Structure 1
Amino acid sequence: MKKAKLLFTTAIVMTMLFLAACGNSSEGGEKAEKGEKSSSNEKSPALQTLNNDKVGSYLADAKGMTLYVFKKDKKGVSNCKGECLKKWPVFYAKDMDMPEGYNKSDFGTITRKDTGKKQTTYKGYPLYYFFKDKAKGDIKGQGVKGVWYVVNDETFAKLAGDSGENATDLASGTDTVLADTANLKKTVEQSSKDTASINNAGKKLGEDWDAIEKKVEEKYPKDYENIEDSLYPLLAEAAKEQPDEDKMKKLIADVTNKLNSFKEKVSS
Structure 2
Amino acid sequence: MKLKQLKFAAALVITTFFLSCSSDSGDSGDNGGNNNPPTPEVKKAVSLATSATLGSYLVDKDGRTLYFFSTDANGQSSCTGGCEALWPVFNVDNLTADKLGAGLTLSDFGSITTPSSKKQLTYKGWPLYYYAPSSDDGYGSVMNKLEEAGKTGGEGFGGVWFVAKPDYSIMIVRSQLVGHDGKNYKSDYTVGDGATTYFTDAKGITLYTFKNDKFKKNNYTKEDFSNNAVWPIYETDKIVVPSTLDKTKFSVITVFGKSQLVYNGWPLYYFGQDANVRGANKGISFPAPGVWPVPVKDIAAAVAP
With normalisation by structure 1, the TM-score equals 0.49
User: Would you tell me which structure has more helix in proportion to its own residues?
Assistant: 1
Indicate the structure (1 or 2) with the bigger Cα radius of gyration.
1
User: Would you tell me which structure has more strand in proportion to its own residues?
Assistant: 2
